[in-house]
């Protein structure tokens, strides 16, 4: 029933370009509130295509990337070899964020980044517990987690479950059908607000969305399973004892990721 993320990413990796990396860098800078990552260690959990790892590397960080899916690991390696072939400090490994011993074995990092990952593990709360072992005083945790949209989220779960059962040769058609429905809804919504051009602008500027590609994001979105959601206050409460909330952004309706930036409080000695 698991979605093969890596297969999708391998295709995307071939079209990673400098401007996509630049967009990803811009996103990191803006949300982290940091101009560069010189001297910092960066853990990219569920690295997928490797795009964010590349962006963090370009900003000066020392990178460890891991993913559960072997094809994603291969993909991150391919991307690394394309842009940073001679970097011997960059570790890329296969690993599972739900495996506590594995997480502990990695040690601690200045920045722990898990964008769109923990909600696809099958147990996002355990994953959030495990990544705490990768933090030290003042570490930053940057998470993107699906927002709980009530009945809409339940429908999306069903859409994803159906995707996993559709024969492989019909999967692109299924993605097309499902995305046409959401796109039409968005187009009508913007038209009613007298902003139809805004709809086409979003398409044109899609790469500004962390440097991602519309089609690969759609496949990932429609197929991405397991799938869990959470409400912001649940996540705030989960971290509140030992972490400050440094930044928060809700992407709003639709795919509805909530972005969180937590900072580990200093431990009293």
Ligand X SMILES: C[S@@+](CC[C@H](N)C(=O)[O-])C[C@H]1O[C@@H](n2cnc3c(N)ncnc32)[C@H](O)[C@@H]1O
Q: Taking the complex as a whole, how short is the minimal distance between the CB of residue 205 and ligand X, in angstroms? A: 18
Strand partners, 64: 43, 91
Enumerate residues 126-155 that contact ligand X by CB under 6 A. Answer: none
Helices (H), the chain: 5-13, 18-32, 51-58, 70-83, 100-106, 124-131, 151-165, 171-192, 196-204, 214-223, 232-239
Q: In whole angstroms, what is the distance from residue 24 CA to residue 215 CA?
A: 17
Binding mask 157-196 for ligand X (x = CB under 6 A): ----------------------------------------
Contact 72, 9 (CB under 8 A): yes
**Given 31, 48, 64, 262, the residue binding ligand X (CB under 6 A):** 48
Which residue's CB is nearer to ligand X, number 40 or number 160? Answer: 160
Contact 149, 99 (CB under 8 A): no
DSSP state of 265: P
Question: How many residues interact with ligand X (rule CB under 6 A)?
Answer: 21
Enumerate residues 190-209 that contact ligand X by CB under 6 A. Answer: none
**Given 40, 57, 120, 264, the residue binding ligand X (CB under 6 A):** 120
Q: In whole angstroms, what is the distance from residue 136 CA to residue 241 CA?
A: 14
Q: Taking the complex as a whole, how short is the minimal distance between the CB of residue 46 and ligand X, in angstroms? A: 3
- Residues contributing to the site for ligand X (CB under 6 A): 5, 45-49, 52, 67-69, 72, 96-98, 115-117, 120-121, 220, 224
């Amino acid at each position: 029933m698991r979605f093969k993320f890596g297969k999708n990413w391998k295709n995307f990796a071939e079209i990673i370009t400098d401007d996509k990396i630049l967009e990803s860098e811009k996103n990191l800078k803006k949300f982290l509130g940091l101009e560069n990552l010189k001297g910092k260690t960066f853990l990219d959990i569920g690295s997928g295509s490797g795009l964010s790892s590349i962006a963090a590397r370009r900003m000066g960080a020392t990178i460890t990337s891991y993913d559960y899916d072997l094809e994603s690991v291969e993909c991150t390696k391919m991307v690394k070899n394309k842009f940073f072939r001679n970097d011997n400090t960059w570790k890329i490994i296969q690993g599972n964020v739900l495996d506590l011993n594995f997480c502990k074995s990695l040690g601690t990092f200045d920045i722990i980044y898990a964008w769109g990952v923990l909600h696809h593990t099958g147990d996002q709360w355990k994953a959030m517990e495990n990544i705490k072992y990768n933090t030290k005083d003042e570490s930053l945790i940057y998470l993107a987690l699906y927002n709980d949209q009530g009945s809409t989220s339940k429908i999306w779960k069903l859409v994803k479950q159906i995707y996993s059962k559709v024969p492989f040769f019909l999967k692109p058609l299924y993605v097309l059908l499902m995305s046409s429905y959401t796109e039409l809804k968005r187009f009508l919504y913007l038209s009613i607000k007298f902003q139809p051009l805004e709809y086409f602008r979003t398409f044109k500027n899609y790469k500004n969305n962390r440097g991602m590609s519309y089609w690969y994001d759609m496949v990932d979105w429609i197929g991405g399973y397991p799938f869990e959601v959470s409400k912001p206050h649940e996540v705030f409460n989960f971290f509140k004892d030992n972490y400050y909330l440094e930044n928060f952004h809700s992407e709003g309706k639709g795919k509805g990721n909530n972005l969180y930036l937590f900072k580990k409080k200093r431990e009293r000695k």
